[in-house]
Structure 1
Amino acid sequence: MQITETTAIITGAASGLGEATARHFRARGAAVTLLDRDVERGRAIAGEIGAHFVETDVTDEASVTTAIATARDAMGRVTAAINCAGIATGAKTLGRDGPHPLDTFRRTVDVNLVGSFNVARLAAAEIARNDPAPDGTRGVIVNTASIAAFDGQKGQAAYAASKGGIVGLTLPMARDLTREGIRVMAIAPGIFATPMLKGLPQAVQDELAADGPFPARLGDPDEYAALARFIVECDYLNGEVIRLDGALRMQ
């Protein structure tokens, strides 16, 4: 797959990793449809980069079905789905105020894991309609995990569980979709300079950046986008989770 021939839907594209990926893909010739709940910012970014936007709730089947159909009509087809939508929550299993709120755990898993699977399964159905390339390729799905899936810290039970689920479904989903010629990959980012992190005090950001062995800095969202593009273009990558973390192993 060449990026110039790619038609991608990107969830969570109104900010952070999703926005960076949308900008990166468009700058290199891909057609892009942004999916997000933030209508104002999503439309603004789409207008700025020459892309399309659809208001989307990744946890809702009807919303995602409509979004994918709209993207197909706008771009002609869908060949790539990049899942960046997600939320981060923090609570200990047993904290000062009592047990971890169950609704917070459910919501985190619902958005990060169920939402990603919802988009992936519906995107797969659309991608499977494409005419195959000579090698049988029809498209690719890239989900976003996290290094928290492997070494989650205190207070990350819900978040780490949701991202661990992304890791766990990568290989079986890839195996499920071999007949359709659809590859499935996951990226596990470390600590990135996203709007969520930039809201922390500078001293905290500096401390987090210093934890990385090399380079001792926060990840740049465009580095995530560049890896996503490489995955799209490298047809032999399939069924794997790639850590993108500067060798960081969280204590």
Structure 2
Amino acid sequence: MRIDSSLVVFITGASSGFGIQVGLDLLKRDCKCYLTDRDDIDNKLISQYPTTQVVFRHLDVTDEEGIKNAIKDCVKTFGHIDAVLNSAGIAPLESIIGQNFSNKILAQCLSINVIGTFNVSKYAALQMAQQQNTNKEKRRDYAIINVGSIASVNALDKGSIYGASKGAVLAMTLPMARDLGRYGIRVVCMCPGFFNTKMVQQIPQTNLQQLAKLTCLGRHGEPSEFSNAFQAIIENTFINGTHFYLDSSMATPHL
């Protein structure tokens, strides 16, 4: 899959963090980006690009009907959809026996991180399969890239809720790839460690400094490095049904 003006990428969680970084980097390479988030985006970031190349729409990934409509609007706007980055997510940190723990927080996290990721993947895949069936000549491939976490297998203290949600995102990757491979749709899970994003700033600075020392490079990742990895997956059409850690070989301790 070539990253050029013919590529259309649908991104959730695009107002900050990994989502906006990937979007901006793809726009610089002339791709078309359909950016979504439940929060507002800083329009200054995308105002230099024409609406024929990028649009932003509000989308709450817990709204299944909203997801269906957004996929349809993406196709109406750009003609088709080639790749998805499921970047929308939340990271509640609550001890399972803490006073602030509640099933409401658990349900919200699973609804956004797991069901939201699943439904965006589902409706994007339905569109991709339709495109594959109607094309006279088969396209090289399509890609759905989900954002897991090192918490998928090794969550921090107070990370039961978040770890459960990201573990589910990791677990759905291989069977989803098996389901969709016949349509030329690849599914990959990226499992980042700690990056300098707004979400990570929830963690106390003292802990963040300690965690940085545990990586091989002695620092946290930059969103641009996540974006570079995303682009590599898009371009390498044999990466499929797998996951990988983007954490500089970090061993998460008991903090």
TM-score over 0.5 (shorter chain) = yes
The residue that corresponds to 2:224 in the other structure is 222
SS at match of 1:130: helix
The residue that corresponds to 2:3 in the other structure is 3
d(CA) in 1 for partners of 2:74, 2:156: 38
Give the TM-score, by structure 1 length.
0.92
In the TM superposition, 1:37-186 aligns within 5 A as: 37-39=38-40, 41=41, 43-50=43-50, 51-95=54-98, 97=99, 100-131=101-132, 137-186=140-189
d(CA) in 1 for partners of 2:68, 2:142: 18
d(CA) in 1 for partners of 2:159, 2:174: 24
Give the TM-score, by structure 2 length.
0.91
Stretches of structure 1 that go unaligned for 5 or more consecutive residues are none
d(CA) in 1 for partners of 2:136, 2:21: 28
Is the aligned partner of 1:250 residue 2:236?
A: no
The answer on whether the counterparts of 2:18 and 2:227 sit within 8 Å (CA) in structure 1 is: yes
The answer on whether the counterparts of 1:21 and 1:225 sit within 8 Å (CA) in structure 2 is: yes
Stretches of structure 2 that go unaligned for 5 or more consecutive residues are none
The answer on whether the counterparts of 2:212 and 2:220 sit within 8 Å (CA) in structure 1 is: yes
d(CA) in 1 for partners of 2:206, 2:95: 23
The residue that corresponds to 1:237 in the other structure is 239
The answer on whether the counterparts of 1:42 and 1:53 sit within 8 Å (CA) in structure 2 is: no
d(CA) in 2 for partners of 1:205, 1:187: 21
CA RMSD, Structure 1 to Structure 2 (Å) = 1.9
Q: Which moved more, 1:135-144 or 1:65-74?
A: 135-144
1:118-177, Cα deviation, whole Å (9 max, x unpaired): 100000011112246967534110000000111112100010000000110000000000
Cα 1:48–1:205 shift into 2, 3 Å: farther
1:3-53, Cα deviation, whole Å (9 max, x unpaired): 1132100100000010111011111221111011123x2544332444211
The answer on whether the counterparts of 1:13 and 1:42 sit within 8 Å (CA) in structure 2 is: no
